[in-house]
């Protein structure tokens, strides 16, 4: 198995241009001595300045969403080709905030994911259950449905071209992380579904990140789990001290 640990940071709708540039530069310096791969997903408007700050660095650039189409009349959307042109190699799709606040459903996420892949971007597909779904024992059914629908008609022959992020909605921005065992159980279930959908060797190699209140004091226990290959960090990625604490523990 060669699943290199990946720490992705989603800045959501935070940071001014100068703050984004300064933090990206600090992260790139800090990552030079870290063992994991790192990717920053800034707001669209900061991507250029972050690209400039990361020039020559091993830190990769990502985005927080993309349209399925390459161009056209899609007011307010961003084409995957535009992201490629800015130097992005990855893009988050299906984040729970997109699903909950902007009504994106699995079908739309599937289209966005396919658009990203067609443009050569690696999608980071976010899935995860709400608190109510967990409390009513629907977690595995929800995860399975999200995977089947978001990955419908998608073929994966190279496992490095797809990343899954398990982000239980109740753990996002709440300070309430899933326990290492809860996360491992979900990741192992997800890998099993991927093995049914794709070749087993592909499923074994696809990286599955955990997201939801990841911090330096819980990342080691999460990363010690067999099927957790990295983290998708939100709040703790907005300050160099907390983020450096995470990447140096991985
Ligand atoms: P927090 O780390 O702030 O909980 O956010 C997680 C997240 O949504 C990353 O995409």
Q: How many angstroms separate the CA atoms of 206 and 161, rounded?
A: 8
Q: What is the pLDDT of residue 49?
A: 98
Residues 220-250 pLDDT 10s: 999 999 999 999 999 999 999 999 999 998 8
Atom of ligand 1 nearest to the CA of 235: 3
How many A from CA of 199 to the centre of ligand 1? 30
Atom of ligand 1 nearest to the CA of 96: 8
* 84 CB-near residues (< 8 Å, 6+ apart): 119, 120, 121
Q: What is the rounded average pLDDT of the residues 149-156? A: 97
Residue 95 annotated as catalytic: yes
- Say if residues 36 and 7 touch (Cβ distance below 8 Å): yes
Q: What is the rounded average pLDDT of the residues 130-143? A: 97
Q: How many angstroms separate the CA atoms of 112 and 92, rounded?
A: 10
Q: What is the pLDDT of residue 157?
A: 94
User: Is residue 185 predicted with pLDDT exceeding 60?
Assistant: yes
How many A from CA of 11 to the centre of ligand 1? 9
Q: What is the rounded average pLDDT of the residues 127-144? A: 97
The whole-chain average pLDDT of the chain stands at 97
Set out the domains of the chain in order of their start, with CATH numbers: 30-247 (3.20.20.70)
183 CB under 6 A from ligand 1? Answer: no
What is the pLDDT confidence band of residue 32, given thresholds at 50, 70 and 90? confident
- For residue 56, the 8-state DSSP code is T
pTM exceeding 0.95: yes
Neighbours of 2 (CB within 10 A): 7
How many A from CA of 34 to the centre of ligand 1? 21
Dihedral pair phi/psi, residue 179, rounded to 5°: -70, 160
What is the pLDDT confidence band of residue 1, given thresholds at 50, 70 and 90? low
User: Is residue 47 predicted with pLDDT exceeding 60?
Assistant: yes
Q: How many angstroms separate the CA atoms of 20 and 161, rounded?
A: 27
Tokens matching residue 158: 């190279």
């Amino acid at each position: 198995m060669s699943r290199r640990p990946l720490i992705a940071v989603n800045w959501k709708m935070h940071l001014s241009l100068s703050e984004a540039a300064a933090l990206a530069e600090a992260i790139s310096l800090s990552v030079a001595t870290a063992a994991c791969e790192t990717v920053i997903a800034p707001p669209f408007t900061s991507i250029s300045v972050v690209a400039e700050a990361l020039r020559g660095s091993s830190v990769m650039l990502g985005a927080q969403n993309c349209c399925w189409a390459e161009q056209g009349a899609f007011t307010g959307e961003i084409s995957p080709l535009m992201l490629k042109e800015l130097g992005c190699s990855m893009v988050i799709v299906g984040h729970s905030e997109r699903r909950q606040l902007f009504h994106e459903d699995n079908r739309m996420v599937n289209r966005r994911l396919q658009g990203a892949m067609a443009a050569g971007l690696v999608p980071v597909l976010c899935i995860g259950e709400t608190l109510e779904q967990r409390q009513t024992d629907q977690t595995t059914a929800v995860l399975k449905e999200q995977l089947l629908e978001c990955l419908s008609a998608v073929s994966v022959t190279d496992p490095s071209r797809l990343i899954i992020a398990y982000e239980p909605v109740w753990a996002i921005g709440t300070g309430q992380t899933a326990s290492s065992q809860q996360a491992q159980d979900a990741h192992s279930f997800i890998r099993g579904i991927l093995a049914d959908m794709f070749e087993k060797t592909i499923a074994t190699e696809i990286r599955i990140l955990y997201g939801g209140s990841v911090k330096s004091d819980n990342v080691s226990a999460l990363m010690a789990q067999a099927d957790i290959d990295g983290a998708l960090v939100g709040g703790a990625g907005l300050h160099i001290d907390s983020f450096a604490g995470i990447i140096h523990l991985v």
